[in-house]
Structure 1
């Protein structure tokens, strides 16, 4: 008997008031006062500049004198201040970030400056292109292509028959040289781009 009562209490469906909630079931709350539609909105004055750290005290006379001495230095000596302070305060050296593959758009610069930057960048990812193969070695070349790609027999055969074709993209120089040697041993000619 007790189990049936327990099951009924568990299976009891919630009432409408329990579903809506105690505050939402009331249609009118007497302590609620609507805003006056004729009232003017409050306008807040924003500061001209926003300083997230708040107002700061003015620099001391010692700092002002130091800044004047630095400004009076010749440009060659001013360039030495940053590295000297970094070494003295034991700050880590800033590492340059590579922008390979990032399109800078119109801001990237143009002319001789960008051409020099492109010459300095060493290529790290290469594509392997199968240019030709001997007709007698077609099966061996297909096997080699299947060995370093995840293609099936039919896909590898179709790819080899479409020479010249790029067979692998984005590999390192060492891996590319290894694959080229394997294709050369099988009777094909592959190049690195």
Structure 2
């Protein structure tokens, strides 16, 4: 009863109640019937797989026989089918797209030939990484790390406890070798990356 009076009031005073918003609410629609709470929810049957193009007719016998013939060919002859069809149907030849300078992801970059040759070029800067150390020489390793970095005692201790960790980045080969030798002398194992 109260809802019906509120509905009548809203229809009479649209400027006060914001009639359009109030009438969009389903409880204030005159033909609204609430769902039966005892009714079971509807179960919809979904297809086994989704085909965005809809159902297709099955292939003809001629196509099936052609597919069987292609499957029975040796691999060398199967590789020639694409170029033969391209020539027979006068299709344009596919051209390779140059991806140099584009970020195409790690997988595509790993396959590219020119990127590998650039990596084989002489590296000028290296990173020094602390692999591991004996627990008894932890204090000596911390002191040695403090000697070639500008870290405080607390920061150096936290860095050593995170091993394996990169100690210093972008150093020359000579500097990296000297750091590795110093760490090896106190009982730690460091590598150059």
**TM-score w.r.t. structure 2 length?**
0.42
Which is helix-richer, 1 or 2? 2
